[in-house]
Amino acid sequence: MKEVLKNYSGIILLLLGITVGSVIGITAPGFVEYIKPLGDIFLNLLFVSVVPLVFFAVSNSIASLEQQSKFGKIILTMSLTFLFFILTAAVFTICAVYVFPVSGVSGSSEIITETANNDTWGDRIVGFFTVGEFTALFSRQNMLALLIFAFLTGFSARKAGEKGEPFRVFIASGYEVMKELLLLIMKLAPIGLGAYFAYQVATLGPQLFGFYAKPLGLYYIAGIIYFFVFFTLYAFMADGQRGIKGFWSNAAYPTLTALSTCSSFATMPANLQAASKIGIPNSIANLVIPIGTTLHKNGSSMSSIIKIYVAFLIIGKDFFDPANLLLALGITVFVSIVAGGIPNGGYIGEMLMISVYKLPQEAIPAVMIIGTLVDPLATVLNAVGDVVAAMFVNRFVKT
């Protein structure tokens, strides 16, 4: 009994904090504003710590790989895994909306507009992958640029050979230090996440009914099925029955963290901890999970299909036309992979959808609101999917 309490004390305390937060959010929403700063402080500590962890984890993982061919194989396998998972989630959602069509959805009178951006497409592409100043790299607003810089740094450290050994020791040490710092911060998780969850329940809870109830219900049902069925299948494909046991015995902590924070970024430390307990080598986990946090999003893939489907319902067009479906899959891959590394990338994906299908502006509010309301489950699918993706990559790349 003591061993059980020791192994699951973190999850039990986290559940307790979330439960207390939910009760406060439902019964005393006016009190939430007084405890929300606790959640904000916790998340801010988490964010400022995760950014250097990403740099050290990715660069150290690449620098410590001994074989050039092994590095290339990991990257190729990871890329194919991300694409396979994203497309599988999209096709599953298309099947779900076909079998269980949503009826009675009409347009919303409220139109949301965004500030005009006069940058050229060339400027935007440069901005996605690079930043103007070195210090701007270490911002969670520029994660894609940071990942690329960490990649190049780790690769350069390997190429430097014997002269680069002191630097390789530095980044390896930096990774261990930042990992321990995050473990210290995560001890505050029950209080911080409980306070933040109270805020989520108090503010978003009432909006889950009414106009958006049917598409939201479809998303949540399909998402929960995908979470349990497909993640189990992926774990089995990765390591048989042992993979299923390893994944589900360690998935609770990342799941609860993602549900509470609505942030894949904030879930990364829990994912890395889960991957370590499952037995995934650091050389794989420290690449797949940080990169997957930005570029691999099962939940965003599913929400993209739902948003496109609802937009077509609003304007009375046929979503299941083959050309529309192919476009939907292309947009979904973009939203899930490319836009995932861009601040407010979901909105960019929504604008792309409106533009490609030449939909009226009246469709914009619906897809934006749906994107907001499905965010808790979408984050769970996005974040926890990185763990099972790391297991999948490990299945084909033995380090």
Of 169 and 129, the structure prediction assigns the larger pLDDT to 169
Most distant CA pair in the chain, distance:
67
- 3-state SS, 276-323, equals HHHCCCHHHHHHHHHHHHHHCCHHHHHHHHHHHHHHHHHHCCCCCCHH
pLDDT at site 298: 93
pLDDT at site 342: 46
Domain that holds residue 361: 1-398
pLDDT at site 185: 84
- List, for residues 86-129, the tens digit of each pLDDT value: 999 999 999 999 998 876 554 443 433 333 445 554 555 565 56
178: pLDDT confidence band, cut at 50, 70 and 90? confident
Residue 164 pLDDT > 50, yes or no? yes
Q: Best-predicted range by mean pLDDT among 114-128, 207-221, 295-309? A: 295-309
Task: Output the CA–CA distances (angstroms, integers) from residue 21 to 11, 12, 18, 31, 36, in the order listed.
Answer: 15, 14, 5, 11, 10
pLDDT at site 82: 92
- List, for residues 354-384, the tens digit of each pLDDT value: 666 666 655 665 676 677 678 889 989 999 9
Residue 398 pLDDT > 80, yes or no? no
Residue 209 pLDDT > 70, yes or no? no
Residue 345 pLDDT > 60, yes or no? no
pLDDT at site 341: 47
Domains contained in the chain, number: 1
Query: Do the Cβ atoms of 241 and 249 come closer than 8 Å?
Result: no
Of 275 and 338, the structure prediction assigns the larger pLDDT to 275
344: pLDDT confidence band, cut at 50, 70 and 90? very low
pLDDT at site 114: 39
Of 49 and 381, the structure prediction assigns the larger pLDDT to 381
pLDDT at site 113: 38
pLDDT at site 313: 81
Q: Quick one: average pLDDT of 328-334?
A: 82
Residue 165 pLDDT > 60, yes or no? yes
Mean confidence (pLDDT) of the chain: 80
pLDDT at site 363: 61
Q: What is the CATH number of the domain that holds 85?
A: 1.10.3860
Tokens of 293: 């946090």
Of 58 and 80, the structure prediction assigns the larger pLDDT to 80
pLDDT at site 380: 92
Q: Quick one: average pLDDT of 313-338?
A: 80
Q: List the one residue out of 171, 137, 178 whose CA is nearest residue 154.
A: 171
pLDDT at site 226: 97
What region, left, alpha or beta, does residue 60 occupy, with left being phi > 0 and alpha being psi -120 to 50 degrees? alpha
